[in-house]
Chains A and B, each alone.
Chain A
């Protein structure tokens, strides 16, 4: 029987080996025993008999292999296609018990044709591609569940993602507005930049159109140093020094100001402190001057002298004392020399604070009839601050006094466009009154009305003065409004403004009346003459 067993376990037809350690072989032996194949007592030789038995066993073996354990063939000697078919049907057709029985037959574990995972079945192949695992293992692996940590990461990231999108939206809005404000600052458009920074800082969730959402409302914090610094810088550039102190104090601590990156803020704060120190003392002196019924040049000189004494104390910024001295000189007539003196002193002491002296010089030159110098000052002022409406206004005045009406008119149009941009003045009349500080913006309309009047275009002058009147009512606008309406035959509007003036105890100046009477022309008043109320 030993020989028999050896023969049974010999290489099969395809020459592949089946290792002898398994049930199927035992099964074959059992079957062989059942077949009563003991030694024969016939006359045939023992060899023949053995040969017959072997033949029977072989056929029986084939029968067994084909019938009962045909699945194994897929694993050992059938074609790969057969193996796949076996595996496809395996899970459905074979019980767990039989699967266990399969495991007892194994090929060499190093055989590259075997599944890398189970090392029992052939690798699955499809369309000429051999995969790493058998079909069964692949199926199991394909059903691998997600790692719970990964799912947590996914869910958390989805939540954070939504939050990040919202936060990014708010940040981008604020960032974009700040970038825009910064660009305006670089273009010397300080008024627009200041407006924009102001909107950013004041926005509170439902606020401005610039920054409709604010991180302030979400987290109760500031919207960033960038906007704060920009805002303070624009205040400084616009000469609004008095507003710097409170702003700096609300955003920066003394410790912050010691940092190098906030050195500019520290400088602005220092300027504010110096101006404040001077103003505390100087305001008292100026108030004394203002309390007088009629201020004369001598009164002004006395006040200026008192202020001059302050300079000797060496605890004040003398440039700012000079500023208050200049301010005092404005209260009396014929003080141009003093005005120029103190303005020069201010300019030398604080050359950066151009808003304190530039247009004051231009005004002096205009009053003196030195229109070229006035225009030069205005041009420099416009280089320093591209949106200085007051500089435009002054230049328009200088131009029409030089009888350059077309140039003056063109400049007034340009100034109006800029004013609209700054103050968001819309063509829609209803919005005119709702805009913020637009005094200068509307003063340009007044100048334009004068230029139209000088050109003899009273209809256009009427349109311009109407806009100025609707926007911001000042004394010069009121007088001009009365003049133009009367000349154009708009009695109702003329009566309206006259009633208003009477209510305030005022009268139309004589020169205006002369124009209405036809004894004076626009040119007589605004080019050749000196108009006190208008100056």
Chain B
């Protein structure tokens, strides 16, 4: 009952009003693949963001391209929008259903269809989990390069939708650089192949346009991903600093010296302490900031890069610890990867940001972030991809405290504004979704947004794929009245 009540509070229609759509879905997919109970719909009504969620309609679990086509065609016949969903680990509300759409969960489409080592490509279904793919490839000495923190749960389809990144994208690029071809079901139920496996597929780069489309352009049903050889040698260093400025200056100096580390991560003292309490990675608690630097490649070059990083670090007053073996390396990474879990011990909720600023402005922006959260009396922890200027301030809070959520959102707005002021961008790897939809005019003019809407309309002229995301009104073609509630849910 509680579940139904929760759904009703969010504006869900009473059960049974959309029976014909559900009946058609059941007829096409089978009852076991169409979940219309309150619990299933509630589970599919949000993602991992602070967005309170929308209202899911029937949740479908197709296991083939043909079944995805059926879902889309039936939804279209009943004038229902469609929202694709992977693991639900997104952080912007992009997979949160607005207006009781048919939800197409791709989690049962989780087969690695083909691994072609000679061509360094694998065909996978969209529900394959990112880390499962790299683990599967490991005996062949290959991996899928994008490694978001949600790697153990997020799906390749979700990675494609969000153009996901991760620590190791500094050297290797984000998802777009690792996707060769995508089979997509469009809003009219048609199946199209975007991109190709040859060196330079002809035509407009629809593959590139689709990646990062946040489920608004179509549903990926098969993805050909580029496989990257595992490096022969890896060296991981932990540099600790007595002030944040020196850590940030070291980041700039490493890049300016012509190094492209495999990863270059930064954590501030608050984050270090949280991580140490949580998993005892051996980070120095007294450091104002630490850098986790990983260099990889062939042994000689790795040696040279590591020596250069050490030299630059010492020049900036760093204490240096070099992982002596794989076990110690894993421990150092465990600290970085446990950051979000560590935060859960401090406060029950967190709001994770994702702006990018020029590397040269990192110190200034970090200082301003500290000022903002101090002014609001909030707690912030910084753990981020310093090498490409991709900030991830995490505001830890307890949403049960009176007025706290509003303060967190206001601080969030200010952090976004500061990042934009210094020539940054809204998102480095999480995307826009609902969370930053209404901030898009900070970065793009009306004309720019109009051109983005043209891209959307070329793929989905009837505007039924994941409406209400990314593009602010009036550039969004969403005409479903319930969608207007979305901004209120996130930003008050």
- Are A and B part of the same complex? no
B residues whose Cβ falls under 8 Å from a Cβ of A:
none
A residues whose Cβ falls under 8 Å from a Cβ of B:
none
